Amino acid sequence: MAFKGLDSFSHQQKDKVGVVITNLGTPDAPTTPALRTYLKQFLSDPRVVEIPRLVWLMILHGIILRVRPKKSAHAYKSVWTERGSPLLWHTQDQTTALRDRLQKSWGEEVIVEYAMRYGNPSIDSVVDSMLEAGARKLVVLPLYPQYSGSTTGSTFDALALNLKSRRWIPELRFVSSYHDHPLYIKAMADKIKAYWQEHGKAEMLMLSFHGVPKRYLEMGDPYYCHCHVTARLLTEALELDQSKVITSFQSRFGKAEWLQPYTDQTLKSLPAKGVKSIQVFCPGFAADCLETLEEIAIENRDYFIEAGGSEYNYIPALNSDEAHIDLLQAIAESNLQDWKHPTPDYQAREQRYKRSPLAPKS
């Protein structure tokens, strides 16, 4: 195996620190061919679909990739904007804001970029470019507050695959979750309170998280527990009675049992129980995307209204709100602290290295 080197390396080059925020990804365009490419990469990930590979690949290539891309392209067209995919440009805005904050505090030695697990820019290409730019230490922050093997774990797989091919491995810090971070809870609570101040409260607040197969929970994935911790802390921060909050799971796929209660089925059942108004917030989504703007704000609204509900509103994700950037900055800086402010012991070791006869001559 040939290992990757660093084309631009120089001993005189000043080391930098890289901060990479990652998200799930998005197709390059709301078209059938673009969706086929995106879904092929996404649904081929063994972390996403954990069934025997041969069986699944026959289903994926024989059925799903022949049918689903056209349907998904239609859904993406309904949320596509002049700037492109909402997930992409929200992530770009988050990156710009975080970069401005960190470089103001830490200087231009900190490189801040974003990468997508599926689609572009890929984790592989971004890590390559950051290391070539001089990053010798990396903080990787997946924008999944609640850990799941199918999201955060898959992101680590992609990162590890890149580093596995390298001769020189950078020092690495990987943020696996922030589901109970005080600034995360506060940012969401403040967002919802601001919405209430402008629009008033509904009878119920639904906290809808992305679903995963129930089997993942049974095999030890902490995602379900993380979601409920987030929901409990947010309910407390909002000073709501538990009876006024529903925690549910959306976006299930296939015939297997997924985490329950299901968002769509719950919304269909509520009007018959006397609930006529509801507001929905999605704590697990760091940026608005197809699953929030089309599935929750449009499709599930129709379910609720058709079932007899009278008022349904979606509360937007944190996106690039200042409070959200405060959170991302706090997480990044907690990992940067000792890297940018070396301890006396580290400084002493650096000085001993510089005096060593093996140290490169400047």
Is the bond preceding residue 33 a cis peptide, omega within 30 degrees?
Answer: no
Q: What angle do CA 97, 98, 103 make, to 5 degrees?
A: 105
Q: Are 38 and 118 in contact (CB under 8 A)?
A: yes
Nearest to 41 by CA among 120, 102, 131: 120
- Pairing state of beta strands 16-26 and 135-142? parallel
Helix H segments across the chain? 32-43, 53-59, 65-77, 86-106, 123-132, 154-164, 182-199, 214-218, 223-237, 263-269, 290, 300-306, 322-340, 344-355
Q: How many whole angstroms separate alpha carbon 314 and alpha carbon 143?
A: 21
Nearest to 175 by CA among 154, 152, 148: 152
Q: Are 129 and 111 in contact (CB under 8 A)?
A: no
| Paired strand residues for 10 | none
Q: Is 324 annotated as a binding residue?
A: no
Q: Is 291 annotated as a binding residue?
A: yes
Q: How many whole angstroms separate alpha carbon 103 and alpha carbon 278?
A: 41
| Residue positions forming the annotated binding site | 210, 291
| Residue positions forming the annotated binding site for Fe(2+) | 210, 291
